[in-house]
Structure 1
Amino acid sequence: MRVAITGSTGLIGSALTRSLLLDGHQVLRLTRGGSASAGDGSESATWDPKAGTVQSGALEGVEAVVHLAGAGIGDKRWNDAYKKELRDSRVLGTQTIARAVAALEVKPRVLVSASAVGYYGDTGDRVVDESTPAGKDFLAGLCIEWEDAAAPAAQAGIRVVHPRTGLVVSAKGGAWGKLFPLFRYGVGGRLGSGNQYWPFIALADHIAALRFAIDDDGVVGPLNFAAPEPLTNREITKAMGRAMHRPTIASVPEFALKIAIGEFTSGITGSCRAVPAGLLKAGFTFQYPTIEQSLNAVLGK
C-alpha cells in the first residue's frame, strides 16, 4: 500500500512512517522543505498549505492519506498572531489536502485527517464520546473548522476519518515529553486543581489506531483517540511518581500557569473525560489501556 503523510517529522508522523515502512508499505512524505530523501526508504514531495498547492502528480497512486500537519498548540504563548497561525496551519492545510485528493482521477480509499479532543471544550467530569456536541472555547472552534475543512474529500466520495487525539504518552515529544524531565528531577506535580480529566493514549496505541483507521473500510467520521479510562491530572501525577520512583508533592497553581503561558492554560487545566466509544465499537483493541501500562512502555519496563 502507498500512503502519503503530512507532518511526517513530528512525534506521531515519524512513528507512523516507521511502522508502515517496517511492514513493507510505501510512504510518501509531503514536506514544505524540498524533496530530499529521508534515508529511510520513504519518498518525498512538496506541498504548500498557504498557497494551496501539492506537487503535480505526487498523489497519483496513493491509496491512503494521513494528514497530521499543524502548528504546535503549546509551542508558543497565545496571542492573536499565533492563534491565526494555529488556525491557518490546520484549516488551510486540510483544505489543500482535501481538494488535492478530491481532484484525483483515481482517488485514495481514505483520508485520515487529524483533530483533537479539544473539540469538546471543558466538560468537567462528564463522560464524552463522539456524539457529544462541540464546546464553545477557542480550541473547540478551531477543531470544528479543522474537521470541516476536509469536506471536499468527503463530497468526492472518499472515506474521511478524524482522529480526535488526547495527550500522547511519550518521552520523545508532545506535551508529555515536557513532563518526563520534570518528574525525572523530582519536581513533577499536579497542575492547577489536579481534578481535570486528561484523556491519554500510549504512542504505540495511537499508531495502531491510525493503522486501524486506514485499513478498516467501515471506520468513518470522528474517533476519540484516548485510552478507555481517562484519569484526572492528580491521578496521572501519582502514577508518574510511582513509575519513576519520584516524589509528587510539587504543584503549580492555575494563576501561576496563567502568568507563565497565558491563555493556553485552559488547555492544561480544562477537563475532558473523553472515551473511545467509536474505536471500541469498531473492534479496536488497546495494547496499553491503563496509565501504568502506557508509562511502563515508555520507560522500557
Structure 2
Amino acid sequence: MNSTGAPVSGHPDAPAGAVSFERAVDLPVSREEAFAWHDRPGAFERLTPPFDPAEVIERRGEGICDGTTVELRVGKPPLRLKMVAQHSGYDPPRGFVDSQLSGPFAHWRHEHRFEERGANACRMVDSIRYLLPLAPVGPLFGGSLVRSKLRRMFDYRHATTAADLADHARARALLEPRGQWPLRVLVSGASGLVGSALCAFLTTGGHSVHRLVRRAARTDDEVRWDPAAGEVDPESVSGYDVVVHLAGAGIADKRWSDERKRLILDSRVDGTRALAGALAAAPRPPRVMLSTSAVGFYGDRGEETLDESSAAGTGFLADVAREWEAAADPAREAGVRVIHPRLGVVLSPAGGALGKLLLPFQLGLGGPLGSGSHYMPWIGIDDVLGAMLFCIADEQQVGPINFCAPQDLTNLEFSRTLGRVLSRPALLPVPPPALRVVLGDMVDEALMASTRVVPKRLNGSGYRFRHSELESALRHVLGRT
C-alpha cells in the first residue's frame, strides 16, 4: 500500500484490514547524522506539529533504544487521548520502530528507515501500518480523516526535519573549523514559546543546553537565578559558549496598568543587567550573548521603511527596547559578542499573537484591526530558531538584527492571508475604540502601531529564510499545505 492508504496484505505483523501509509523525504546529511538527530533529546518536540499537539506524560528508558516506552497525551481538548508507545528495532543508522501498546488505534506500527544516498545525503522513509478501532464502522467513517491527518503531519515533519538538518549543517561548516562544535548553551526563558522550541532545536543538533530557572535547580541541566533580585552567580554561568536571554514578562498578556508596565520594563532591564554583569564577571565568559529585543524599538512610524540603522522611536515600547538593549552593556564591554534579535510577531499556533487570533478567524469572525493600514512585521517561529543559530555561527553578526520576514505586510493583508489559509472570510474589522475599552493604551502601541521593518542584516549576510512569504509560513504551522 502507498501513501493514499490501502489494505496491507501478506505482512505477518499486520492484522486483517490494516492500512499502510508511507512517505519519504531526501535529507541533506548522511544517514548517520539523520539517525542521530532522531536519537537526541528534543526530536519528539521538533517533530510534533503545533496544529496537532502531543504531550509526553512519562518516558521510561533511554532515547529510542529497544524497550523504551513513552506515555503520551495526544489531540486537542476536549478530545485528548492517552497513547503508550514502545520503541524497538533500534539499528543505527538504518532505522528504528515504534509501536502502540495501548491507545486510540486497534493497531499502530511506525517504521523509520534511513537509506544512504551519498556522503552527505540520505533518504528517510516513514512506513506506518494501522488499524482503526470498531471495525468495520471505525475505518468506514474515520478512514479518510486519519489519512488526511497523516498527510498533514508528515508534510510538517519532513519539512521541519530537512530544514533543521540543513540549518545545523550550515552552522557546523562555520563552527567546526574553529573548534566550536558542538556548542554549550545557556538559555533563559526556556519554558516560553520561543525558548522551548529553541532548546529542542539545539539539542537535536547535538548541542548541550542548560536552562536558567527561578526556583531551585532540580536537574543537572538547570541553573538557578533570581532576576528580580539581581542575583546571578558568575561561577554558575561560566564556561558556556553561548548565552541566549529570552526572559521577560509578556507584552500583550494582560491589560496595561502602571504596575503592569513597570513589570514589563523591569523584567527585561533588571534581568538583562544582572545576567550581563554576571557574564562579565564569570571566570570564562561566553563568546556570544543573544539578548532579545523587539521591533517595538522603532515605535509607530507609518509607512517609513526601517532597518537596523534607523533611530529609536518614541513611546513606552520604544523606551523599553532601548533600555533593554543597553542593559547588556556589561557583557559587551567585557568583550562578549552581543546580538540583539529585534523580534517581529512570532508565528505559531502554540501561543503568541497567532494563538490568540486563530479561534475568531476559524469561526469566520476575524478581520483587520481598524482599517488594517498599519504595517505588521512577522516571522515564522522556525526562522527565529534558524536565524539565531546563523547569528551565533557567523562572527560578523553583532548588535541589533531585525528578526522579521522579507515580506512586509499591513494588518489588512495579514488578515486576508490568514483567512484564505483557513478558508474563512476575514471581513469583520475590529473597532479600535472597543479594543481600548478592554485593553487600554496597549492597543495603540502594541496592536495598532505601524512598523515597516525590513531584515537588512539577515538578507545581506545570506541567511536563507524557510518562509519568506506569509502564506507559506501560515500553511506550514497550521498544517494547511
Same topology, TM > 0.5? yes
Which structure 2 residues correspond to residues 189-208 of structure 1 after superposition, within 5 A? Answer: 189-208=367-386
Which structure 2 residues correspond to residues 151-170 of structure 1 after superposition, within 5 A? Answer: 151-170=329-348
Q: Select which of 48, 72, 97 maps to 2:226.
A: 48
Could you tell me how far 1:60 is from its partner in structure 2?
A: 2.1
Instruction: State the alpha-carbon separation in 1 of the partners of residues 286 and 371 from structure 2.
Output: 46
* Equivalent residue, structure 2, for 1:264: 442
Instruction: State the alpha-carbon separation in 1 of the partners of residues 363 and 419 from structure 2.
Output: 11
Tell whether 2:27 aligns with 1:27: no
Instruction: State the alpha-carbon separation in 2 of the partners of residues 139 and 257 from structure 1.
Output: 18
SS at match of 2:379: strand
Q: Write the letter of the residue equivalent to 1:276.
A: P
Q: Write the letter of the residue equivalent to 2:337.
A: R
CA distances 1:165-192 after superposition (whole Å, capped 9, x unpaired) = 0001110011221011221121111112
SS at match of 2:212: strand
Instruction: State the alpha-carbon separation in 2 of the partners of residues 144 and 107 from structure 1.
Output: 24
Aligned-pair Cα RMSD in Å: 1.1
* Equivalent residue, structure 2, for 1:283: 462
Answer whether contact 2:234 2:283 (CA < 8 A) is retained. no
Could you tell me how far 1:205 is from its partner in structure 2?
A: 0.5
Answer whether contact 1:193 1:269 (CA < 8 A) is retained. no
CA distances 1:101-130 after superposition (whole Å, capped 9, x unpaired) = 101122101000010000000011111000
Instruction: State the alpha-carbon separation in 2 of the partners of residues 138 and 279 from structure 1.
Output: 27
SS at match of 2:401: strand
SS at match of 1:53: coil
Q: Select which of 142, 145, 148 maps to 2:320.
A: 142
Could you tell me how far 1:56 is from its partner in structure 2?
A: 5.8
Instruction: State the alpha-carbon separation in 2 of the partners of residues 193 and 75 from structure 1.
Output: 24
Instruction: State the alpha-carbon separation in 1 of the partners of residues 440 and 455 from structure 2.
Output: 30
CA distances 1:75-95 after superposition (whole Å, capped 9, x unpaired) = 111111111101110000000
Instruction: State the alpha-carbon separation in 1 of the partners of residues 393 and 232 from structure 2.
Output: 24
Tell whether 2:194 aligns with 1:16: no
Instruction: State the alpha-carbon separation in 2 of the partners of residues 121 and 9 from structure 1.
Output: 28
Could you tell me how far 1:58 is from its partner in structure 2?
A: 2.1
Instruction: State the alpha-carbon separation in 2 of the partners of residues 256 and 122 from structure 1.
Output: 20
SS at match of 1:249: coil
Q: Write the letter of the residue equivalent to 2:245.
A: H
Unaligned runs of 5+ in 2: 1-182
Normalising to structure 1: TM-score of the pair?
0.96
Instruction: State the alpha-carbon separation in 2 of the partners of residues 8 and 213 from structure 1.
Output: 19
Runs of 4+ in 1 over 3 A off after TM superposition: none
Instruction: State the alpha-carbon separation in 1 of the partners of residues 191 and 298 from structure 2.
Output: 27
Percent sequence identity is 47
Answer whether contact 2:235 2:283 (CA < 8 A) is retained. no
* Equivalent residue, structure 2, for 1:62: 240
Normalising to structure 2: TM-score of the pair?
0.61
Answer whether contact 2:245 2:290 (CA < 8 A) is retained. yes
The structure having more radius of gyration, on CA atoms, is: 2
* Equivalent residue, structure 1, for 2:270: 92
* Equivalent residue, structure 2, for 1:171: 349
Instruction: Name the count of aligned residue pairs.
Output: 297
Instruction: State the alpha-carbon separation in 1 of the partners of residues 337 and 366 from structure 2.
Output: 42
* Equivalent residue, structure 2, for 1:236: 414
Q: Write the letter of the residue equivalent to 1:283.
A: G
SS at match of 2:251: coil
